[in-house]
Chains A and B, each alone.
Chain A
Amino acid sequence: MQMSTEMYGIIAMFMITVLLAIPLGRYMGKLFSGNSTWLDPIFNPIDQLIYRISGVDPNIEMSWKQHLKVLLSINFIWFVLAMLVLTNMAHLPLNPDHNPSMSADLAFNTAVSFISNTNLQHYSGETGMSYLGQLVLMLFQFISAGCGMAICIVVFKAMKEGTTNTPLGNYYYYFVRSCTRVLLPIAFIMAVLFLLNGMPMTFKGKDTITTLQGDTVQVSRGPVAAFVAIKQLGTNGGGFFGPNSAHPFENPNYFTNMIETIAIALLPIALIFTMGYMLKRKKLAWLIVGVMTVGFILLLAPTLVMETAGNPAIAKMGIEQNLGNMEGKELRLGAAASAYWGIVTTVTSNGSVNAMHDSFMPLAGMCTMLGMMVNAFYGGIGVGFLNFYIFMILAVFISGLMVGRTPELMGKKIEAKEMKIAMIIALIHPFLILSGTAISAYLYAHHPAEYAGWLSNPGFHGFSEMLYEFTSASANNGSEFAGLGANTPWWNIADGIVMLLSRYLPIIGPVAIAGLLAQKKYIPESAGTLKTDTVTFGLMVMAVIVIVAALSFFPSLALGPVAEYFSFH
């Protein structure tokens, strides 16, 4: 009985996500094509005001290099702003709990983490952040998501068929529209629903209460509802409180849990339908969503089975496991919805959690890592598609070689330069994860006096904690095996560098490829063209993803979660 209602819950969440994503994708397609939408009367004046104050002209055409220059310069300014606020919070207003400023290395990590849409947190919101700091981080949750969406639209524009020197539009225009007309209204609706379900939205500091049993307890509060809405929607994931959406104030009941879970994958899926609308290639959009969904379900199914079956080591003590593996999970959410969230949040690079991944069963933990290692099953807002685009280029090239034809994507010839960029981008992710984990494992093993305090779990699981940390940083995900004591200079700086590289290089690479392709001569479709919207091509992309992910990561997974799994038996 219990488990069946839990299963209906996750089926409903998935169905609602897709059903909402289809019309939303179409709306966004209209938005970025410059067509009129019903929200125009409200937002046209707001947008105009933003353009005027910023001193930019949204009608100027930009080259792909100019798009990237604008993106990188605004991100640089965000970084400076974040550093200034985080290192001076203690003296700034809105700090009723008198929380301290951050050390330089922690501020570097946090600043990079939030501008890069990662939201890896080496602090706890209750004790490590003022309300002003939270509100500034919330700014980055909006604009880093808007930044990813805008650059994805540039790639969609570049993919437009039938033209040579395809126009790419204006970055400010896409960015402002993403923020004001997509993120802001949806986040606001979510925040109102959260308020109606008892989520706090207050600027008062800690409350002190006496419990029924007579203990005195302090309760942290804050402007939570506004923050959680955009945290879930913008594939951000940085929690207001330490335990993220496991905290009853961030996720009070099953209804809010459903909204928060749906919001995680909503925009990444909607963006694929936006592509279908803008390129008039609906079939291709469905194919991509189909491939992503197959990948998602392949990771979800074993995780669900493992988490709802419970912990065999505890079963050995005679404790019944019909509730599932409940360590690190909340009862109002249940094991199934926690497993579902665990996979949605890792495939999309959201990284919020409603249960502790560190206490997941070994192979469930492995599936969450695989979600981040692939990082293209839905993926982060905008960047998820960019990663998938790289896999598509690789698949086109390999299929082209197999059938002896020139590789073409959407009527544009793929040549050596594009392939080099695609290969570098495909390999940089495993390179950052594996080299980072290797150095950490070396430090841990050879300098135990300085570094052994990192891990809260021994053996294989400890190795998994380090592997997960770098995987999460490199996937711009932000979830953690939180037993890792990561607020040390090594983790702050190493993670920070990994997040920087893995945010901006995988944006620059695909935009460069798309930009280069857009300038090329259009070759009309003929009998010799490799069709991209067929199931065969879908299987090719899937094969490329599996081969790249499996070959790169299998040895390290064998040392961590797989070895831990066998240690049970």
Chain B
Amino acid sequence: MRHLTKLFWVVLFAFAGSVFAAADLEVNTPAISALKASMQARHNRLSSYYFSGAVGQARDGNVAVHDASLVPLAERQNVNGLVAEENRDRTALYREIARANGHPEWEAEVRSTFAQRWIDKASGGWWVQNAGGAWVRK
């Protein structure tokens, strides 16, 4: 009887805890850290293409080749590879954030939140895709 009451309170507080936890998003997992590190390392190679306008921030939360003609022919394969790798990491990042918070179905919303923030935080001179899908230079 006594410990049943105790159990009752434990259950109550456990729920209260989970409600408070919902206010924040968990991003400190090994998978997310690894993805961040991989993207950070790649950024040094991608940023010159962001500045030249060859690659831009797409509205779907990915990066995309905006103008391949700005890249010398010999480098184009390399750019396509970088873009594909970056998009693989970004997709995995959105999925991992949703999963780490117990809601895999949030992946699309995580993606659209990031899409907006990548564009907002893009440096002046970079190309970004607006809501209508047109490319604009920031």
A joins B in a complex: no
Chain A residues in the interface with B (C-beta under 8 A): none
